Chain A
């Protein structure tokens, strides 16, 4: 099936099967920042943005991308770079497998201009599992990034 969609600002026509998920479609088209972690929508590493909202690409049927805007971390290089500086400063990057997904959720949050407290930020990011850091350094980095971008 043909799907008309926009990926990172570029119009693309994708050829997909009716039971194919965006995770597979995107990886096949070399959007390799979209990662496969758990197969059960449990871990967050496959997160992408559909019309600026984070969704797990492993459960998003590719046919449903018709007319939608897809964003992967390749589409927000400046924001990702800036966030990486904060991660670097707090020692929050370890294996980094979960980082692109987190970057997208954080970017979506920032774009939504919702006011967040430290506690609501935690709840907002709960779906992103990390087995390396213990989370606290990530949160510190993200808070600083959001603080920065609010200025």
Chain B
């Protein structure tokens, strides 16, 4: 029932992600302040910002992992307050932590999460995503025995397993070599239903600009610059990027 409702909304809703008046504090420290965002379906937004600017918090709020203090999030027309499970079904999330069980093999980890998503044809899906992240030969290895980069690839496989329409990526490039990132790009960008809506947080301007349809800079919980990749003023972007780096150091 939930899946039918979510699917019918996906057909009608032109916006992949809509955020209005989002605020989040931890204790007395505000992390996001009255944050607004719209992102069309199938577009890729890359969010830059120095440490502590609120990138990870934004992704955790979008993923429903955090509950906002105020404001509202809609993903494919589903409200994070009213239909969090419909959102969880439509998103794939890669955070800093790979979110894996270390004493389970790659296959067992993916099978567990596949069962939690109640997926059909699980064996085929597992073979498919392990192929995409080039971990077929490590299928029966325990997650704890994988290198950091391999764990990251397994985390990406877990995020892709249910073929989500939306991907939320927090520095997916960390631990991955350039070749792997280039190979992974097409699998991340497209689902079986078309282009994925992607929000990605990163410090890496090279990969960020390469993947982005839109870029945004986050500072102290608000967007200080946002532009589409096509209309972006490269000089202004690099000025802000350097400014952020200087502040960080």
Q: Do A and B come from one complex?
A: no
